[in-house]
Chain A
């Protein structure tokens, strides 16, 4: 798999060739937002502030934490977030 693969587009070619993003939320009213700390330094400071701002707007906030920033999130954690949240914000860097 050291070469890229070419696939022929099976669609009407009405959308961009790049993969489409999941639909964004229209508004946050009544929604639950997950804040995912990837265990990088001071990620908690950033997410704490976001949490305050969301709570002021009446948005429900759930907090999550990856065991380590160096590996992808465990499947159980991803499933938990998907089951409990409408959107997730991830603190990616220091």
Chain B
């Protein structure tokens, strides 16, 4: 920090401020006491006169933590002992210990915002002069090289352009969380590398997140690293699945997530970038890339990003997070190892039994029409469909039980070779009656626009449960 007077008064002002212009003579009047006066100008080396120090790079303003100009500070024995800002005669007389200041002026007038706290400037100054707590390696991109192309060249992207993670952007992203940049969240597969909050922030910048999404991204990362979610296997599998992120609670409204029309589709920044940030972290921190440890035979478009919110505000049901033990007023993310979206059309059912049977018939085809208790699934129920259950007082559990019972199948119809198809369940199930899902294998989430008698199936990884992935829910720490 540039040296401040041992004993003296410091004024910080700018020309582009009526109050500073109005009070410019006062800066000399305070020199009538026994303390020397140093005047710093933020925007003009000639204002208020030629004797000012031009704080062109705003280093002094930043280090003095100036928020409003004019600001008057008193130093004694090298430390700040008093300060006032804006114009208030009594205050200026008190801090300067000089009476009769600005006698021709009105008694008080508000000042103006200081240049060092203008949007964008503060982060630049923090990076240049402050202690950001960011310790990640800095990579210098030479002049004339396109920074987005540089990110591609280094293999940092999922195929779409990323926002270049400059120190200023990363710092702004870190302002979205109270957590320390160096806090470690766990080991990211496949390389089992410890991921810190700042690495999450860097990848969140690249994904296009806003800082206020950070608590959701951090919770999604923590969820992905839980052992029962089995992110390593999910990445490595030849199957289609990737992490599907479902967000519940008040934060979904605060950050403007989409739970309504096109909730599973494109167009909402929070939905799009939170899911993408998680994938970029697996890629960049964990080293998990297609063709490397990601061995997907076909993959699915949701592996770019698959994140949405549950439509809770007019739901007849408790939310997914509430079902999974999260208190009402809290927010949470649930991760599910899921594939793409398969539509269910039912525009004719007018009673819950018929619609539940429709759902069951559609859910039966997940993974294979003869597969039983193999994949888990999410059933995304639209508002028009859920209304039918709400009016009949069918809760989520009753619907799940009905679906399970409608899927019950004699083993002899689904064992290997049955129906002329070699694929199927092992012979040992021939005499059993089999439901489609394991207990707790079917999750119900409500989302979608007001119109559309359609719901959706998100089939899950064929390695579900203890042998593979179990859905996990983590509370979001705001």
Q: Which residues of A come within 8 Å of B, CB atoms?
A: 1-14, 17, 19-20
8 Å CB interface, B140-189 against A = 140-145, 147, 150-151, 153-156, 164-167, 170, 188
Which of A4, A10, A14, A17 is close to B156, meaning CB atoms less than 8 Å apart? Answer: A10
Q: How far is the CA of A19 from the CA of B287 in the complex (A)?
A: 16
Stretch of B10-18, B131-139, B236-244, B392-400 that contacts chain A = B131-139
- A7 touching B166, Cβ below 8 Å: yes
Residue with the greatest number of chain B CB neighbours at <10 A, chosen from A6, A11, A20: A11
Determine chain B's interface SS by DSSP, over half rule. Answer: mixed
Residues of B within 8 A of A7 (CB): 138-139, 141, 147, 150-151, 164-166
> How many interface residues does B have (CB within 8 Å)?
37
Contact partner, A11, options B140, B147, B170, B285, Cβ 8 Å: B285
B206 interfacial contact with A, CB 8 Å: yes
Closest CB in chain B relative to A58 CB, distance in Å: 28
Total A-B pairs, Cβ < 8 A: 80
Cβ-defined partner of A8 (8 Å) among B142, B144, B153, B167: B167
Tell yes or no: B446 within 8 A of A by CB. no
Given A10-B280, A19-B153, are A1 and B144 also a contact pair (CB < 8 Å)? Answer: yes
Q: Which residues of B contact A20 (CB under 8 A)?
A: 154-155
- Seed contacts A6-B166, A17-B139; 15 additional CB < 8 Å A-B pairs: A5-B147, A5-B150, A5-B164, A6-B140, A7-B141, A7-B147, A7-B166, A8-B134, A8-B136, A8-B198, A10-B203, A12-B285, A12-B286, A12-B287, A14-B287
By beta carbon, the residue of chain B nearest A9 is: B137
Spell out B's residues near A (CB within 8 Å): 134, 136-145, 147, 150-151, 153-156, 164-167, 170, 188, 191, 193, 198-199, 202-203, 205-206, 280, 284-287
**Given A8-B134, A9-B136, A14-B287, does the pair A3, B143 have CB atoms closer than 8 Å?**
yes
Residue in chain A with minimal CB distance to B191: A12
- Enumerate chain A residues within 8 angstroms of B199, measured Cβ to Cβ: 10
In the bound assembly, the distance between CA atoms of A4 and B141 in angstroms comes to 5
Cα of A3 to Cα of B154 in the assembled complex, Å: 20
Chain B contacts of A9 at CB under 8 A? 136-139, 202
Residues of the B chain whose Cβ atoms lie less than 8 Å from the Cβ of A12: 188, 191, 193, 284-287
- B293 → chain A, closest Cβ, in Å? 13
The docked-state distance in angstroms from the alpha carbon of A78 to that of B156 is 24
Alpha-carbon gap, A76 to B190, bound state (A): 38
| B162 (CB) vs chain A CBs: closest residue | A10
Q: Could you say which residues of chain A place their CB within 8 Å of the CB of B153?
A: 19
Tell me, in angstroms, the Cα distance from A87 to B42 when the chains sit together: 58
Q: Name the CB-closest residue of A to B201.
A: A8
Bound together, the chains give a CA A14 to CA B154 distance in angstroms of: 13
Tell me the smallest distance from the CB of A29 to a CB of chain B, in Å: 22
How many Å from the CB of B128 to the closest CB on chain A? 11
Q: A3 to B165, alpha carbons, bound, how many Å?
A: 16
A13: contacting residue among B134, B136, B155, B156, CB under 8 A: B136
Contact A17 B287 (CB under 8 A): no
Closest to B206 in A: A10
CB atoms of A8 and B191 under 8 A apart? no
The 17 listed contacts between A and B (C-beta, < 8 Å) are A3-B143, A4-B141, A4-B142, A5-B141, A5-B147, A5-B150, A7-B166, A8-B134, A8-B137, A8-B139, A8-B198, A8-B205, A10-B165, A11-B156, A11-B285, A12-B286, A14-B191
Q: How distant is the Cα of A26 from the Cα of B285 in the complex, in angstroms?
A: 28
Complex Cα distance, B134 from A6, in Å, reads 13
In the docked arrangement, what's the CA distance between A93 and B306, Å?
50
Q: Which of B139, B202, B206 has the most CB of A within 10 A?
A: B139
A11 to B170, CA, bound (A): 14
Alpha-carbon gap, A5 to B139, bound state (A): 8
CB contacts (< 8 Å) of B151 on chain A: these are 7
User: Using Cβ atoms and an 8 Å threshold, which residues of chain A touch B166?
Assistant: 5-8
Q: Indicate if the CB atoms of B139 and A6 lie closer than 8 Å.
A: yes
The distance in angstroms between the C-alpha atoms of A7 and B141, with both chains bound, is: 7
How far is B151's CA from A10's CA once the two chains are assembled, in angstroms?
Answer: 10
In the complex, how many angstroms separate the beta carbon of B184 from the nearest chain A beta carbon?
13
Pairwise interchain contact A17-B137, C-beta atoms closer than 8 A: yes
* B155–A6 touching, CB < 8 Å: no
A7 to B148, alpha carbons, bound, how many Å? 10
Q: Which residues of A contact B147 (CB under 8 A)?
A: 5, 7
For the complex, give the distance between the alpha carbons of A19 and B156 in Å: 11
User: How far does the alpha carbon of A58 sit from the alpha carbon of B165 in the complex, in Å?
Assistant: 47
A14 touches B193 (CB 8 A): yes
Q: Which residues of A contact B165 (CB under 8 A)?
A: 7-8, 10
- B167 contact set on A, CB distance < 8 A: 6, 8
CA distance A20 to B167 in the complex (A): 23
A9 to B202, CA, bound (A): 8
In the complex with contacts A13-B136, A13-B137, A14-B191, A8-B202 CB distance below 8 A: yes
